[in-house]
Amino acid sequence: MDEQSHLMQTLVGVTLTGHPVPLPVPHDGTDARNKQDIGDILHQIMTITDQSLDEAQAKKHGLNCHRMKAALFSVLCEIKEKTGLSIRGSQDEDPPDPQLMRLDNMLLAEGVSGPEKGGGAAAVAAATAAVGVGADNSIEHSDYRAKLSQISQIYHTELEKYEQACNEFTTHVMNLLREQSRTRPISPKEIERMVNIIHRKFSSIQMQLKQSTCEAVMILRSRFLDARRKRRNFSKQATEILNEYFYSHLSNPYPSEEAKEELAKKCAITLSQVSNWFGNKRIRYKKNIGKFQEEANLYAAKTAVTATQAVAAAVHNSQTNSPATPSSGSSGSYSLPGSGDIFMSMSGLNGSYQPTQVPNTGQTQGNGGWHDAVTPSSVTSPIEGANSIHSDTSN
C-alpha cells in the first residue's frame, strides 16, 4: 500500500494506531464527497511549492482555515512519528561512553574537574601532592600547580560556555519548533528528540574539550614531573658529603641501608638518589681512576685532617678520663677505612659505618667487581696508602 492511499485511508476516520481521529466526517454516505475534499487538500499541499509566493501564501492561508486542518495535522504528526523518526528513536538511549568515562576519571584524578567548580584549587593541590615531588623541586612544584590550576580554570570556563551555549541553542530550537508546530506537523515528542540530538552534539564537543584538557595535563606532567626532565644537580654540599663518604670508604664504597638513609637525610635527597649516586660514582671512578685521582687525594687529605683531630681528641680523652670513653657525637665526620677501630665509633652516620672494610656480601659482582678492578693499593690516597691497620681482607 502506497503512502498516499494509506494516508487517505487513515484520514477518513482512523489513525495508524487505530485511534479515532476527530474528523468532522459523518459516516452517512457522504464519504465520497469527504474523500474528494481530502484529496483536494493533499493536492493543494503537494503543489504549493510550484506556485508563486503570493499564490502560495493565499493557499496557505486557505489551508490553515480549512475545517480539516486539525485532523490532517494530527495524522501527519503520527505518520512522521511512525516513519523517519522511528529510526532515530532507537538511538535515544545511549549507554555511557567508555572514553568519556575515562576522560572524566582522569580529569578527576588530576584534580582538574572536581566536586567544586571554578578551578578546583584543593583538588589541584591534592593532585600535585600525590605526585610526590622532592623538596628541592619546590619552584617547579609551585609552577606546576599554577599551570595546572590555569588549565583547570580554562577547562571550567570553556565548559560553562559550552553549557550556556547548549542551553541557549536548545531553548532557541525548542521555541522555533513550537512556533513552527503551528504550521508544520511537529509533535512534542519530536521536539524532545531534537533536544536530545542537540545535547548529544554538545556533549561530543564537551568530550573534545575534555580530551584536549587531558592532553594539556599530560604535557604539563611530562614537562614538569618527568624524572629525566626534572634532573637537577645536587647541591654542592650534598655532593661534598657523598664524595667524602665515597673516598673515605674507597676500599668498600657500598654504604649500608642505614648509611644510605643517613646520607639521604644529610643531603636532602632520596634513598634511591643516594643509591644512584653511588652506582654512578663507582662505575665512573672505576672506569677512569686517573681522572678521579685528584679528587680522591683532596677528600682523603680532608678526611686525614679530621681524623688527626679525632685521634688527638681521643688520646686526650684517654689521658684525662681513664678508662677511655669514645668521643660520642664528635664533629659528624666520617670514619676512615682502615684507620683503626677507634674511628669507627666516631662515625657521623650514627654508627652505621661497617667496622670491617670487607665488601658487602653479595654486593661484589663476580664480573668486574670493585676489588677486582680497584684495590685500595691502586689508589694513592694518602689515608688508605698510609694506613698501617687495614681491615680490608681482600688485600
CA distances from 94 to 14, 89, 197 (A): 34, 11, 11
Regarding 237 and contact with DNA (CB under 7 A), the answer is: no
Determine which residue in the list 27, 61, 229, 265 makes contact with DNA, applying CB under 7 A. 229
Nearest residue (CB) to DNA, 155 versus 277? 277
Q: How far apart are CA 28 and CA 39, in angstroms?
A: 19
Nearest residue (CB) to DNA, 116 versus 226? 226
In whole angstroms, how close is the CB of 173 to DNA at the nearest point? 49
Nearest residue (CB) to DNA, 373 versus 386? 373
Regarding 233 and contact with DNA (CB under 7 A), the answer is: yes
Regarding 17 and contact with DNA (CB under 7 A), the answer is: no
Regarding 370 and contact with DNA (CB under 7 A), the answer is: yes
Which of 160-168, 176-184, 208-216, 270-278 is the region at the interface with DNA (rule: CB under 7 A)? 270-278
In whole angstroms, how close is the CB of 151 to DNA at the nearest point? 20
In whole angstroms, how close is the CB of 249 to DNA at the nearest point? 12
Considering only residues 281-300, where is the footprint of DNA by CB under 7 A?
A: 282-284, 286-287, 291
Determine which residue in the list 273, 306, 335, 357 makes contact with DNA, applying CB under 7 A. 273
Nearest residue (CB) to DNA, 111 versus 253? 253
Regarding 343 and contact with DNA (CB under 7 A), the answer is: no
Regarding 138 and contact with DNA (CB under 7 A), the answer is: no
Nearest residue (CB) to DNA, 182 versus 228? 228
Regarding 272 and contact with DNA (CB under 7 A), the answer is: yes
Regarding 378 and contact with DNA (CB under 7 A), the answer is: no
Nearest residue (CB) to DNA, 166 versus 267? 267
Nearest to 307 by CA among 274, 342, 256, 278: 342
In whole angstroms, how close is the CB of 351 to DNA at the nearest point? 19
Regarding 163 and contact with DNA (CB under 7 A), the answer is: no
Regarding 257 and contact with DNA (CB under 7 A), the answer is: yes
Regarding 236 and contact with DNA (CB under 7 A), the answer is: no
HEC string of the chain equals: CCHHHHHHHHHCCECCCCCECCCCCCCCCCHHHHHHHHHHHHHHHHHHHHCCHHHHHHHHHHHHCCCCHHHHHHHHHHHHHHCHHHHHHCCCCCCCCHHHHHHHHHHHHHCCCCCCCCCCHHHHHHHHHHHCCCHHHHHHHHHHHHHHHHHHHHHHHHHHHHHHHHHHHHHHHHHHHHHHCCCCCCCHHHHHHHHHHHHHHHHHHHHHHHHHHHHHHHHHHHHHHCCCCCCCCCCHHHHHHHHHHHHHCCCCCCCCHHHHHHHHHHHCCCHHHHHHHHHHHHHHHHHCHHHHHHHHHHHHHHHHHHHHHHHHHHHHHHHHCCCCCCCCCCCCCCCCCCCCHHHHCCCCCCCCCCCCCCCCCCCCCCCCCHHHHCCHHHCCCHHHHHCCCCCCCCC
Regarding 277 and contact with DNA (CB under 7 A), the answer is: yes
Regarding 356 and contact with DNA (CB under 7 A), the answer is: no
Nearest residue (CB) to DNA, 160 versus 295? 295
Q: Quote the cell numbers at residue 223.
A: 614537562
Which of 6-14, 89-97, 106-114, 227-235 is the region at the interface with DNA (rule: CB under 7 A)? 227-235
Residues at the site binding DNA, with contacts judged by CB under 7 A = 226-229, 231-234, 239, 254, 257, 272-273, 275-280, 282-284, 286-287, 291, 360, 362-363, 365-370, 373
